[in-house]
Amino acid sequence: MFQVLRLSAATQELPKSIICNVHGVNPKFLKVGEKIAAEKEQGNQAFSKGAYFLGKMVWAKGYRELIDLFAKHKNDLEGFKLDIYGSGEDSQEVQYAARKLDLNLNFFKGRDHADDSLHGYKVFVNPSVSDVLCTATAEALAMGKFVICADHPSNEFFRAFPNCLTYKTSEDFVARVKEAMNNEPQPLTSEQRYNLSWEAATQRFMQYSELDKVLNNEETLSCKASGPKVNKSISMPILSEAVDGGLAFAHYCFTGNEILRLSTGAIPGTRDYSKQHCMDLHLLPPQVQNPVYGW
């Protein structure tokens, strides 16, 4: 019997499906969080900047919601400025809308979330409701920041973290902004750091997919069929390495196939970096990262 694992309730409900976040963050984000926690313990100021938002600059990535929130509560958010890092095909339209409404939004070119220039921000604002599970939100939490996000099924996993402040209405959003700006984030516990790691994500995958039971059952049947117990030699593959390889291959297949990505809620045309995105992040151009071979 197989299980269909869904990253969040934001995906399509399928027969025999179960919701389980099997995605972790890069260890470098957890290291940033540990460094910030150490600075706090020493009595140093861990955060020197206010709030920011980071994401590909297309309307579907939360920019419409962001503009609407700031426009509706322009007076309530007076004095609150948000720095936005992103590049994309809707950049000109988004920035024009912000200027036309005279909103306190500062725009910068997109950059890697682990960039040193972003470590000093205390609050990560993410109004997007189009993600299945936002990686940037998990990364911000791992770095010990406040995260302000919508009360949405895609953010269900993050609600367990005290630094995650969710809102249901635009009035709630204003309240959450003021709460975050007037307080300090709580340092992550060892358990919370572990829950954001790839190690924990793999463990959840093994548990909810019941892959460990399948592998153990096959090993038991193999031993019974072969008669006397045979000790494993050094040359035999390690189970954890085999599982890691299988997970990596499955991730490659799912994220590399556009049809499978769309069926799980991905936004069309977001699989590969665009030329502008590559320039902003100093990456190799798309034709080098994804070459098209022909005769």
Q: What is the pLDDT of residue 77?
A: 96
User: For residue range 82-130, what is the model confidence (pLDDT) as tens digits?
Assistant: 999 999 999 999 999 999 999 999 999 999 999 999 999 999 999 998 8
**pTM for the full model?**
0.69
29 touches 150 (CB < 8 A): no
**DSSP 8-class letter at 94:** H
In this prediction, residue 201 carries a pLDDT of 84
Residues near 162 by beta carbon (within 8 Å), at least 6 away in sequence: 186
pLDDT value for 227: 52
Copy the structure tokens of residue 20.
């389980």
pLDDT score for 212:
63
Three-state DSSP at 83 gives strand
What is the C-alpha separation between 271 and 257, in angstroms, rounded? 9
Q: Cβ neighbours of residue 268 under 8 Å, at least 6 residues apart? A: 258, 262
pLDDT reported for residue 294: 38
The amino acid that residue 137 corresponds to is T
Residue 157 carries which side chain, given as an amino acid letter? F
Predicted local distance difference test score (pLDDT) of residue 264: 62
Q: What is the dihedral of CA 193, 196, 197, 203, to 10 degrees?
A: 110
How far is it, in rounded angstroms, from Cα 134 to Cα 137?
Answer: 5
* Of 138, 118, 112, nearest in space to 197 by CA: 138
C-alpha to C-alpha distance for 205 and 219, rounded to whole angstroms: 20
Question: How does DSSP classify residue 12?
Answer: P
Mind listing the pLDDT tens digit for each residue in 28-39? 999 999 999 999
Instruction: Pick out the chain residues at pLDDT < 50.
Output: 229-236, 289, 292-295
CA distance 206 to 110: 35
d(CA 29, CA 197): 10
Q: Strand 4-6 and strand 17-19: pairing?
A: parallel
Return all residues near 70 (Cβ < 8 A) that are at least 6 apart. 77, 82, 98, 101, 103, 104, 105
